[in-house]
Amino acid sequence: MGKDGGDGELKLLGLWASPFVARAKLALQIKGLSYEYVEEDLGNKSELLLSSNPVHKTVPVLIHNGTPVCESTVIVQYIDDAFAGTGPSLLPADPYQRALARFWAAYLEDKIVTPWRRVFMVKTDEEKAEAMRQTVAAMDALEGGLKECSSGGGGQSPFFGGDSVGYVDVLLGGMVSWVKASEPLSGAKIIDAARTPLLAAWMERFCELDAAKAVLQDVHAVVEYARTVQARVAAATASNQ
């Protein structure tokens, strides 16, 4: 799984379908770091997971020399900081560009990931449609964010990180299989070439990266997994009524 960073043992606790685990995998892959991957069953969580992430009790968790780091956005930054001398940097050195990347990362989590997650948890079709509408609407501003982040040096660069993949690219990139799965699942295109052409072109470029090919989940498998989750939520809702 990549070259050995030489900075100690890395173990990633994950779930194959999770877009948040995919973020951590992408960062490790881009940096060229070797790690042990442990697939978790979230219906029967391991003692290692519960002891490593006692607050949220979920994946991903990165364990570096026995010390756990939790939450995908934090893990990606940690990988960049802890292995600064290995592989490309994900966060830029320039303080303003660094702040800009963190701003759009926060926007992605707050305005896109939060309503998108609700699509799979709410009970009614109306609530699902509203959550998806909020997710799609928030992509308009992110389109502007891509233009802003990638317009250094007078030209348009291919990624949020400029000429190479950066922090926001990894966070959004981890979600690509789920973005593609949204259309067969709900009929909604989260990234639509007609509405957000820069993001649509970005997604095509991102999927061509070696790291993306190595990490991103099969879209059909994600669709089946999501349908199973939605059926489970629906059954739990019905039994509670």
Q: Name the helix (H) or strand (E) containing 64.
A: strand 61-64
Residues 43-55: pLDDT tens digits? 999 999 999 999 9
| Whole-number pLDDT of residue 80 | 98
In the chain the domains, ranked by start, together with CATH numbers, are: 10-83 (3.40.30.10), 95-228 (1.20.1050.10)
Global confidence as pTM: 0.94
Best CA proximity match to 171, nearest among 110, 84, 95: 110
- What average pLDDT score do residues 101-116 get? 97
Residue 129 has pLDDT above 80, yes or no: yes
CA distance 149 to 30: 20
Residues 202-235: pLDDT tens digits? 999 999 999 999 999 999 999 999 999 888 878 8
Which 8-state DSSP code applies to residue 154? Answer: G
Confidence of residue 240 (pLDDT cuts 50, 70, 90): confident
| Whole-number pLDDT of residue 57 | 97
From the CB of residue 118, how many other CB atoms can be counted at a distance below 10 Å?
A: 16
Structural contact between residues 200 and 192, judged by C-beta atoms closer than 8 angstroms: yes
- What average pLDDT score do residues 52-73 get? 98
Confidence of residue 122 (pLDDT cuts 50, 70, 90): confident
DSSP, collapsed to helix, strand or coil, labels residue 12 as strand
Measured at the CA of 194, the angle between CA 137 and CA 158, to 5 degrees, comes to 90
Q: Which two tokens stand for residue 175?
A: 């979600």
In sequence order, the 6+-apart residues with CB closer than 8 A to the CB of 126 are none
> Contacts from 58-61 at CB under 8 Å and sequence distance 24+?
59/13, 59/14, 59/15, 59/18, 59/20, 59/21, 60/12, 60/13, 60/14, 60/18, 60/20, 60/21, 60/23, 60/24, 61/12, 61/13
Q: What's the length of the chain? A: 241
